[in-house]
Amino acid sequence: MQTILVVDDSPTIRRMVRAALGALSEIAFVEAGSGLRAIEVLGMQPVDLVVLDLNMPDMHGLDVIRFLRTHTQYRELPVMVLTTRGDDTSREAAMDTGATLYLTKPFAPSALVAAVKAQLETHATRRA
């Protein structure tokens, strides 16, 4: 079973992401309402994909990505940014920092499902 960590300070968005991805079989979810909590969760259990908001009160999503990319065990972990920031500067900053994919809110559930499936398959192939 693969595990997805959904990181967003909005409980509503976390529920929407989980609901959209509910169609995927054999997926477990863990949630974090902040960047710092996401790092704590990652230290307690392995995950296969992170869906990450950029705008959070305690630790910006870019700082979470920087943390992940500087630690060997997380360097290859796929990180999908899901944010309201649709500008090119934010997109470029996220991708340059190490995001795997960049999606904007509001999101189409089918697009999110397709992106997550592709990322999980790629990650599983790399680990095999």
Confidence (pTM): 0.94
Q: Which range, 12-21, 23-32, 115-124, is most confident? A: 12-21
CATH number at 102 reads 3.40.50.2300
Residues spanned by the domain of 117: 2-127
Angle between helices 109-127 and 11-21 (to 10 degrees): 70
Please determine, for residue 126, whether its predicted confidence score (pLDDT) is greater than 80. Answer: no
Q: What pLDDT, on the 0 to 100 scale, is given for residue 124? A: 79
What band does 4 get if pLDDT is binned at 50, 70 and 90?
Answer: very high
CB contact set of 99 (below 8 Å; sequence gap of 6+): 52, 65, 79, 80, 81
Q: Identify the pLDDT of residue 27.
A: 93
- How many domains in the chain? 1
Tokens of 126: 């790399």
Q: For residue range 41-66, what is the model confidence (pLDDT) as tens digits? A: 999 999 999 999 999 989 999 999 99
